[in-house]
Amino acid sequence: MGKRSARVRVRLDAVRITSALVDPALLDLPWSTPLEQWPTEHLVALPQGISRHVVRFVQLGGYVYAVKETGERVAEREYDLLRALERIDFPSVRAIAIVADRESDAGEPLDPVLITRHLQFSLPYRALFSHTLRPETMGRLLDALAALLVRMHLTGFFWGDCSLSNTLFRRDAGAFAAYLVDAETGALRSALSNGQRGEDLEIARVNIFGEALDLQAAGLLHDSIDPEVVCEEVVQRYERLWHEITYEQQVEREARHDIERRIRRLNEMGFDVAEVAMSTMGNGRYLVRPKVVDAGYHHRRLLRLTGLDAEENQARKLLNDLDAYRAESDLTDEQQAAHRWLTEVFEPVVRAVPAHLRRKLEPQELFAQIIEHKWLISERAGRDVGMRHAVQSYLADVLVHRPDEQAVLGVEMSRS
């Protein structure tokens, strides 16, 4: 479904659908039945986080959607917020429609529903803990959640219910990328005060402590992981990242390279710098503060050069490989190098994966892991083993033994 800024309200079969683009397949769903009673032929089995609402997953036209029963005013508010976040390319699920004026066959009113598109290759945090969670995995999840909170607050978005349960996670070249799922308590403003940021952090602290206790009770936390430490860790990781992005830096007037180094460091962390504010201090120094506008520096560069839509760490790895290819090929034109890398390197690697293994990882994550595998086996061999050998080695020794992530999700989904 494409992006549209305007709402469309349509009344069909006694229900009212509010959507950016009405999908006729919505009519095939049993709107006169409460969600918890929907027949299984309409549902797909997906791992699900903890929710205060009844949520069901359905497949329509090659896509999977989450359908959530809620109040009409709450649904409209969340729909508008998710659409606003989509317009600024914020990492969240996409709002598709609101279905209201539902009635049972007996004429009793039923709650409206909010429909969002399920994020491919993503899992709620509990689905990642089918085995005891290791400390390093928890650390990567907390890093992803802290980065999501920082990006929210830079955007001016107050979440109001930050938790692992309200987040989806996708693999991102050895790390995780976090996406907002539930926005019904959120608010989008021009900027947030320190008090509003602090309130969001305190909510996160309390929610994550409860979720960690729940995991501990289920035997899914490693013995070395303390729930009290976990909830403090996400706040500490947030504060370190926020400080790095926003602190004012004193530099000598002649030390312009210090400013450039700060901007490069922020870019490496994945953040774009729109402008740099500078003021004199009267002691031969400048006070410098960069204005960071958003995350996704590498993601946007890769998308611009190749059209590939990747997570930030994936994009960084793919761009490093692209830059190395450009240097080895002695190509001065960046766009030409990107086109040749895409057709001569990336696409042949993806095509080399047998059809029965392609549901295990999305192509960008697959390529990033093959790059890492190539480096490891080249180190062991003491020479560059080449991409062809690395691909065959990865397929035979690594990928074939990985769990089928789309099978875990319970349904084969088309790519958006």
DSSP string, 344-367: IIIHHHHHTS-GGGTTSS-HHHHH
Same domain assignment for residues 25 and 89: yes
User: How far is residue 214 from each of residues 133, 167, 203, 211, measured CA to CA in Å?
Assistant: 13, 16, 17, 5
Same domain assignment for residues 192 and 143: yes
Same domain assignment for residues 276 and 343: no
Query: What pLDDT, in 10s, does the model give residues 51-74?
Result: 678 899 898 877 889 999 999 899
End-of-domain residue from the set 118, 146, 177: 118
Judged against a pLDDT cut of 50, whether residue 97 lies above it is answered with yes
- Cα 186 to Cα 161: distance, rounded to the nearest angstrom: 8
Rg (alpha carbons) of the chain, rounded to whole number: 23
Residue 3 lies in a domain: no
Same domain assignment for residues 107 and 180: no
User: How far is residue 175 from each of residues 3, 165, 386, 396, measured CA to CA in Å?
Assistant: 29, 18, 25, 23
End-of-domain residue from the set 82, 100, 118: 118
What's the mean per-residue pLDDT of the chain?
Answer: 82
Q: Look up the CATH number of the domain holding residue 219.
A: 1.10.510.10
DSSP string covering 90-142: -SBPEEEEEEESEE-TTS-EE--EEEEEPPTTEEEGGGGGSSPBPHHHHHHHH
Q: How far apart are the first and last CA of the chain?
A: 9
Same domain assignment for residues 42 and 106: yes
Q: Which two tokens stand for residue 187?
A: 């608010």
Q: What is the pTM of this model?
A: 0.72
Burial label for 37, CB within 10 Å (0-12, 13-18, 19+), is exposed
Residue 221 lies in a domain: yes
Judged against a pLDDT cut of 80, whether residue 287 lies above it is answered with no
Same domain assignment for residues 137 and 213: yes
Strands 102-103 and 109-110: antiparallel
End-of-domain residue from the set 118, 152, 181: 118
**Domain span including residue 270:** 249-295
Residue 397 lies in a domain: yes
Residue 197 lies in a domain: yes
Question: Residue range 306-333: average pLDDT?
Answer: 86
> Residue 255's pLDDT is what?
61
Query: What pLDDT, in 10s, does the model give residues 264-284?
Result: 777 777 776 666 677 777 666
Same domain assignment for residues 345 and 383: yes
Same domain assignment for residues 284 and 314: no
Residue 195 lies in a domain: yes
Judged against a pLDDT cut of 80, whether residue 245 lies above it is answered with yes
How many domains is the chain built from? 4
User: How far is residue 207 from each of residues 140, 153, 161, 407, measured CA to CA in Å?
Assistant: 18, 18, 8, 30
> Residue 208's pLDDT is what?
93
Same domain assignment for residues 44 and 81: yes
> Residue 403's pLDDT is what?
66
Residue 414 lies in a domain: no
Same domain assignment for residues 398 and 359: yes
